[in-house]
Structure 1
Amino acid sequence: MFFVIAIAGKRWSNREPLAHEKRWSKISFIAACLGLALHLTFFFTRWIGSGQIPTSNMYEFMTFLAMAIMIAFVIVYLIYRKPLLGMFTLPLVVIIIGYASVFPSEVQPLIPALQSNWLKVHVTTAALGEAFFAVSFAAGLLYLASVIDFEGTTKAQKREQFWLEFCLYSIVLVVGFIVVVFAFKGAGYEAQFVQEKVTIDSQGAEQTSSATVDYTLPPIAKPFNSQPVHIDSFLGMKDGLFEAPSWMNGVNAGRKLNTVIWSVIAGSILYLLLRLVFRKPLGAVIHPLTKGIEAEDLDEISYRAIAIGFPVFTLGALVFAMIWAEKAWGRFWGWDPKEVWALITWLYYSAYLHFRLSRGWHGKRSAWLSVIGFVIVLFTLIGVNLIIAGLHSYAGV
């Protein structure tokens, strides 16, 4: 909020705009550092209290990632002193902490594969590298908001406007997910289904088993081949509106599909409300805020953040990860989904640096690459953990 005052409050301030921005930027940065200090206190007291580094499940890892983004932001801010970057990086941190808070926050005992000092080195360095990618994403998004012509009518200009708006809409969807989960959790909503699963054993005989699936959101999509046990009243709903497809056979696939549907509904409603309030696309709302900042500076910040984060990510997500994999499972590489997507992320940012340094891809091309890159990072962190089964699935608990 202080960074918003520093940027947007210049037009209403009695002070000279530069003096207003300088004063509130200082206040904002001090507040951000205090928040980071509290987050560090939380991290180390939880570590001391539990006796294990708090990065072993989705709640702990996502809160650590948020803290790492704050550390990366402080480093980049001290170099470039651009308050507009804080106005967009810090909300990303808040969203990630909100997302983390959806998961159980209890300390969970480490499984044998996680009982290694290489876990500390691997996870912390990988997350710190991803944190710099997040700062690059914020700078890239700001660059696009500053240079795209929102009054343009050509086909290329319309396409740029659409994709930037789609990026902002996607961020609003995540906010919608957090809002709807906390709303129903606060109301104490519960629904429960019994799902029957039929499997074929090695001798060709059918084996039937049943499992209980708990919902904390009203069941628009219920588990495949299931019957309701208990459903709290919501708009007269006594059963799911439809079954999840049979091919979605992952753990709690129906519940996850239901969460995605609710996220799209809540996020779309929130997006429409914002459009009604501002009466223009969100990109056009942001565009005036970027006046007075050089687009080349944002382009440079986006590149420098990746240049700092890439070697750190290389060490954490590949080198240290392979050493840990050899210690835990007796092999350096096993084509586990998380390993594959970590490699895809590394190859993508390798290509980014190649195009930037060898082909001279600056400006819009570089900004779009930084934005898409962080989308890949988020899928590696969230999509792989929660959708694709693998050795890293324990992180989705």
Structure 2
Amino acid sequence: MNLETTSSWFLMAAFVLYCAAFIGFVLAVTGRRWADRSPEQHQRKWGWVSFGISAAGFGAHLAFFFTRWAAAGRIPTSNMFEFMTFLAMMTTAAFLIIYALYRSPVLGAFAMPVGFVLLAYAAVFPQEISPLIPALQSHWLMIHVTTAAAGEAFFAVGFAAGLMYLLRVVNFKPTTSGGRAQVFFVELTIFTVLAIVGFVGTVFTFKGAGYEAVFLQEKSSVDQKGQLTTTEETVTYTMPPIVKPYNSEMVRMTPFLGMKEPLFETPSWMNGVNAGRKLNTVVWSLLTAAIMYAALRLILRKPIGAAIQPALDGMDPEDLDEISYRAIAIGFPVFSLGGLVFAMIWAHKAWGRFWGWDPKETWAFITWLFYTIYLHLRLSRGWLGRRSAWMAVIGFVVVMFTLVGVNLVIAGLHSYAGV
């Protein structure tokens, strides 16, 4: 068994252990109602058991990281698969640190899914070890990417705690327009989480079924001499093409539920790498999320947030607010170094300039600016509670758009990350 195969087994073990830890944290929170011992004893016992499983999963994840590093001969953070697995690992590390400080099993029930969903999301990307492109052949790859991901991992924990706070305090039987707006946006956040889960589920389902659709796309570009050149490239879908690539012709397509050709064409302004295929995946994710959300609402007969809220009984909202703030306060200086300072140094060495307003650079700056405003409003203007929690939730949405969404809409120097 070679190192690459061994690393894959370690990654699978980490995923299984993360899922088991999540189940343990859920039992710690919900099982206290029928436990023989006192609810506090039950929660404490299952909380530490689940913490131990989480730590074991993190150990397996570390083993994956270093065995893949040995197999590749470089730090494994150079493409979307490697970066997202590393982000999932750092999110788990951030959770373990925060849990050791606050010892709240409820946090595990919300933070652990962030870790294993990121891991599942990573698994949809090509996993083969490939050589680095010239721009990535620098020790600054390790310094920039690892510190940026570490900061974003603490933002993820802050997001989880912020969402928990909202689920704890929002009145799901509102009598005012403001109250109804709060419920709507909480449910929208839950829908967004379901969209990520739907993305992972649909990709694995269609890949497992061996689905394929192939298009021939014609692309035009202007060379350095100002002459227009046209090239053709093959684009392969592994999901039924609701949206086909811009300016393309279908070569072959496996029919699905009576659909024998795409319904729409990707807009021309979406010129990121493989934008058509990514947009098609987003559409499928939203459709799947809509089906799951509708099914849950029918089963629960109430907003999903209202069904989750009783599990948070006994949690002090101020504690949740503090956990969210502390996680972001830890992550902010780390992200500032990795996402901006070290990134600018690497950009100067790779491209001869510190800053060029590349789309990824711009959105990294927007992310940093957003969390700067968050900390300013909290520390100087007293934005605590709901306003702080909403900013923690929105901030992580900005983070995910920076990591994923930018590659869909805009082509830039970081477009290799979206392949």
> Common fold, TM-score beyond 0.5?
yes
User: In 2, distance between residues paired with 1:247 and 1:336?
Assistant: 16
- Structure 2 residues not aligned, in runs of 5+: 1-22
Q: Which residue of 1 aligns with 2:311?
A: 289
Q: Which residue of 2 aligns with 1:43?
A: 65
One-letter amino acid matched to 2:397: V
Check if 1:346 corresponds to 2:406.
no
CA RMSD of aligned residues (A): 1.6
User: In 2, distance between residues paired with 1:287 and 1:117?
Assistant: 46
Check if 1:111 corresponds to 2:133.
yes
Check if 1:122 corresponds to 2:144.
yes
User: In 2, distance between residues paired with 1:111 and 1:203?
Assistant: 25
Residue among 314, 322, 331 paired with 2:336? 314
**Distance change >3 Å, CA 277–CA 113, structure 1 → 2:** same
Match of 2:416, SS state, is: helix
One-letter amino acid matched to 1:76: I
Check if 1:232 corresponds to 2:254.
yes
Match of 1:178, SS state, is: helix
**Cα offsets for 1:250-305 (capped at 9, x unmatched):** 43232222111111111111111222222211110111111111000000011111
Match of 1:152, SS state, is: coil
Check if 1:222 corresponds to 2:240.
no
Q: Which residue of 1 aligns with 2:284?
A: 262
**Distance change >3 Å, CA 337–CA 30, structure 1 → 2:** same
Residue among 352, 360, 377 paired with 2:382? 360
Contact 1:72 1:131 in 2 (8 A): yes
Check if 1:242 corresponds to 2:257.
no
User: In 1, distance between residues paired with 2:223 and 2:133?
Assistant: 28
- How do 1:166-181 and structure 2 match up within 5 A? 166-181=188-203
**Distance change >3 Å, CA 81–CA 230, structure 1 → 2:** same
**Cα offsets for 1:204-228 (capped at 9, x unmatched):** 8764432211111111111233222
Contact 1:386 1:393 in 2 (8 A): no
**Distance change >3 Å, CA 22–CA 202, structure 1 → 2:** closer
Match of 2:273, SS state, is: coil
Contact 1:134 1:374 in 2 (8 A): yes
User: In 1, distance between residues paired with 2:179 and 2:239?
Assistant: 40
User: In 2, distance between residues paired with 1:56 and 1:210?
Assistant: 27
Q: Which residue of 1 aligns with 2:34?
A: 12
Q: Which residue of 2 aligns with 1:193?
A: 215
User: In 2, distance between residues paired with 1:128 and 1:164?
Assistant: 26
**Distance change >3 Å, CA 288–CA 212, structure 1 → 2:** same
Match of 1:116, SS state, is: coil
- Shift in Å, 1:100: 0.5
- Shift in Å, 1:323: 1.1
**Distance change >3 Å, CA 351–CA 246, structure 1 → 2:** closer
User: In 2, distance between residues paired with 1:187 and 1:229?
Assistant: 20
Q: Which residue of 2 aligns with 1:380?
A: 402
- Shift in Å, 1:99: 0.7
- Structure 1 residues not aligned, in runs of 5+: none
**Distance change >3 Å, CA 307–CA 248, structure 1 → 2:** closer
Match of 2:96, SS state, is: helix
Contact 2:220 2:231 in 1 (8 A): yes
Q: Which moved more, 1:274-283 or 1:315-324?
A: 274-283
Check if 1:66 corresponds to 2:88.
yes
Residue among 97, 103, 120 paired with 2:119? 97
Runs of 4+ in 1 over 6 A off after TM superposition: 200-205
Residue among 302, 309, 322 paired with 2:324? 302
Contact 2:273 2:415 in 1 (8 A): no
Residue among 298, 317, 329 paired with 1:276? 298
Match of 2:403, SS state, is: helix
User: In 2, distance between residues paired with 1:69 and 1:179?
Assistant: 21
Q: Which residue of 1 aligns with 2:20?
A: none
Match of 1:161, SS state, is: helix
One-letter amino acid matched to 2:330: I
- Shift in Å, 1:330: 1.4
Q: Which residue of 2 aligns with 1:31?
A: 53
Match of 1:189, SS state, is: coil
Contact 2:269 2:409 in 1 (8 A): no
Residue among 325, 328, 331 paired with 2:347? 325
Residue among 138, 142, 153 paired with 2:160? 138
One-letter amino acid matched to 1:335: W
